[in-house]
Amino acid sequence: MEFRHQSVLLEETIDNLKIRPDGTYADGTLGGGGHSEAILKRLGETGMLIGFDQDADAIEAASERLSPFGDKVRIIRSNYRNMREELAKLGISSLDGIVLDLGVSSYQLDHFERGFSYRGDAPLDMRMDQRQEKTAADIVNEYDEMSLQRILRDYGEERFAGRIARSIVQARAQSPIETTGQLTEIIRKAIPAKNREVGGHPAKRSFQAIRIEVNGELDVLQDSLDEMIDLLNDGGRICVITFHSLEDRIVKNIFQKNENPCTCPPSFPVCVCGKKSKGRVVTRKPILPGEEEISENSRSKSAKLRVFERIRQ
């Protein structure tokens, strides 16, 4: 299957990057290369884009798509959390802009063999980087009931986390849970019948939660944003697209903290903590997709774009 992924909030992201033709940019979640291609089209001869992705299929697809841009693009198979050290290998110490388009790609969802989707029946995998050992099957079959409940509650915001975790533990006691189809049916039965048809597919939140745990998605985001802001040149911008409230909250809080890091009590007449602002939050409220984009791409419905601009003092 061709790696396809419709880039969400593409025009809004590109507009907010304020691209400089001679600038150096990074796409931390390369995917099919949609955002990267749009950036590269706006770069001059001395501009450069570095794309990062963990997924071998994404690397292959983006390499082909972006090949016309020649030496203006470098593609690296790595998690964006390693951005600073990977850039250092190229002799790059700062950037003019960064894009992160978080979550799972259309390709990963539609390619049932990858184990991300509750709509097919395939081995429980969900690894974005297939070099990684831990899979969704390991989590479902090895985590204790309380750990499963915590993941489903915290990462999936699943109302019936306790019931689902209990059902998983009971089912695996009979035989290992090995496929997405098995897990989907366990989840479906654990949710009261009157609640199954409310809020989308009954397995949606649980699959999201397990995927986040497999790939450490929230930890990576939490641990990486400050460093990426530090990488930006004066006036450089980072644009982050999220797809659920957990990601969006992390981005919002870290952007606000970088704008106003002062920890002095409000009663202090002057700042004495010495923590200086690194820039400004461009988007007081997140940018949302318009009705036309949502009608053309239903997966864009929950997308939110937040932007931060680096201001060096």
Work out the burial of residue 162: count CB atoms within 10 Å of its CB; fewer than 13 is exposed, 13-18 middle, 19 or more buried. middle
- Distance set, CA 243 to CA 27, 140, 276 (Å): 17, 24, 30
Per-residue pLDDT reduced to its tens digit, 189-225: 999 998 987 778 999 999 999 999 999 999 999 999 9
Q: What is the DSSP letter of 275?
A: P
The pLDDT value recorded for residue 200 is: 84
Per-residue pLDDT reduced to its tens digit, 78-122: 999 999 999 999 999 999 999 999 988 777 888 889 999 999 899
Which helix (H) or strand (E) element contains residue 51? strand 48-53
H helix runs in 41-132, sequence order: 56-65, 83-89, 106-110
Is residue 124 over pLDDT 80?
Answer: yes
The pLDDT value recorded for residue 72 is: 98
The pLDDT > 70 percentage for the chain reads 98
Is residue 241 over pLDDT 60?
Answer: yes
6, two tokens: 């419709």
The pLDDT > 90 percentage for the chain reads 87
Is residue 230 over pLDDT 70?
Answer: yes
The pLDDT value recorded for residue 103 is: 81
Per-residue pLDDT reduced to its tens digit, 255-288: 999 999 999 998 988 889 989 999 999 999 999 9
In angstroms, the CA 204 to CA 243 distance is 13
What's the full length of the chain, in residues? 313
Per-residue pLDDT reduced to its tens digit, 65-80: 999 999 999 999 999 9
List the domains of the chain with CATH numbers: 10-107+217-310 (3.40.50.150), 112-215 (1.10.150.170)
The pLDDT value recorded for residue 261 is: 94
- Distance set, CA 231 to CA 17, 121, 234 (Å): 15, 42, 10
In angstroms, the CA 156 to CA 150 distance is 9
CA dihedral 245, 248, 253, 259 (to 10 degrees): -160
In angstroms, the CA 228 to CA 250 distance is 14
186: left (phi over 0), alpha (psi -120 to 50) or beta: alpha
Is residue 1 over pLDDT 70?
Answer: no
209, two tokens: 């939660």
Is residue 4 over pLDDT 80?
Answer: no
Is residue 3 over pLDDT 70?
Answer: no
